[in-house]
């Protein structure tokens, strides 16, 4: 469950399946982050009908194309639970429910960071660009209450993002590092020479 929660906070999405009744989860990553996508796929392979596939993408903002890889789960009734956590209403886009608090465990946090986190000024930024500002504030409150992280709201080109203070990094690292791929722990540390 933590892997699904973390990737849905990051790059994954949940949609109605082809039968328009049962939801399914999809995830897409640039080819440079294939290791993360493949790890998620292997850990959750029993939910998939086929292998990940190429899905070239063009960024609307820059017009630049890049190679991406995507997977889609089968449509299962069990995903209604996830859909209820991440959708606030019909056709409302990606959102979050307050019930997410109970499922934001260290594994979920680690996968969220691997998808959309980055080291910044001694702390960590979580890119929450697809969420509304009140949802980002809810996520910050969840992190502050559940883990006692010191968080602030930052603005990145008009989009709200969560910054976890450098003072909270030792606690954050101890919680998430056991769940992270070694090649993604750079998101928790300053890279020498930068």
Q: State the maximum Cα–Cα separation within the chain, in Å, rounded to a whole number.
A: 52
Asked whether 161 and 126 are in contact (CB, 8 A), the reply is yes
Which one-letter DSSP state was computed for residue 148?
Answer: -
pLDDT in tens, 20-35: 688 999 998 888 889 9
122, with CB counted inside 10 A (0-12, 13-18, 19+), is exposed
Q: In the predicted model, what is the mean pLDDT of residues 120-136? A: 93
- The H or E element spanning position 171 is helix 169-176
Residues ≥6 apart with Cβ < 8 Å to 175: 106, 109, 110, 147
3-state secondary structure at position 154: strand
3-state secondary structure at position 80: helix
Measure CA 192 to chain center: 26
> What's the predicted TM-score (pTM) here?
0.90
Domains of the chain as residue ranges with CATH:
2-86 (3.10.28.10), 98-188 (3.10.28.10)
pLDDT in tens, 45-93: 999 989 999 988 876 667 788 888 999 999 999 899 998 898 755 555 6
Asked whether 129 and 159 are in contact (CB, 8 A), the reply is yes
Q: What is the pLDDT of residue 64?
A: 81
Which is higher by pLDDT, 15 or 97?
Answer: 97
Bridge-partner residues for 51, per DSSP?
none
161 vs 137: CA distance, rounded Å: 9
Residues ≥6 apart with Cβ < 8 Å to 192: none
**CA-closest candidate to residue 108, choices 27, 175, 159, 56:** 175
Q: What is the pLDDT of residue 49?
A: 83
């Amino acid at each position: 469950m933590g892997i699904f929660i973390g990737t849905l906070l990051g790059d994954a999405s949940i949609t109605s399946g082809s039968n328009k009744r049962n939801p399914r989860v999809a995830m897409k990553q640039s080819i440079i982050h294939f290791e993360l996508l493949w790890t998620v796929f292997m850990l959750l392979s029993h939910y998939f009908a086929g292998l990940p596939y190429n899905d070239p993408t063009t960024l609307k903002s820059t017009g630049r194309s890049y190679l991406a890889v995507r997977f889609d789960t089968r449509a299962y009734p069990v995903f209604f639970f996830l859909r209820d956590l991440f959708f606030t209403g019909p056709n409302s886009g990606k959102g979050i429910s307050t019930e997410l608090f109970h499922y934001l465990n260290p594994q979920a946090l680690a996968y969220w960071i691997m998808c959309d986190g980055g080291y910044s000024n001694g702390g960590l930024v979580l890119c929450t660009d697809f969420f509304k500002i009140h949802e980002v504030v809810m996520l910050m409150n969840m992190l502050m209450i559940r883990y006692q992280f010191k968080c602030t709201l930052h603005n990145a080109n008009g989009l709200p993002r969560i910054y976890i203070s450098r003072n909270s990094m030792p606690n954050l690292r101890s919680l998430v590092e056991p769940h992270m791929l070694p090649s993604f722990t750079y998101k928790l540390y300053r890279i020498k020479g930068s």
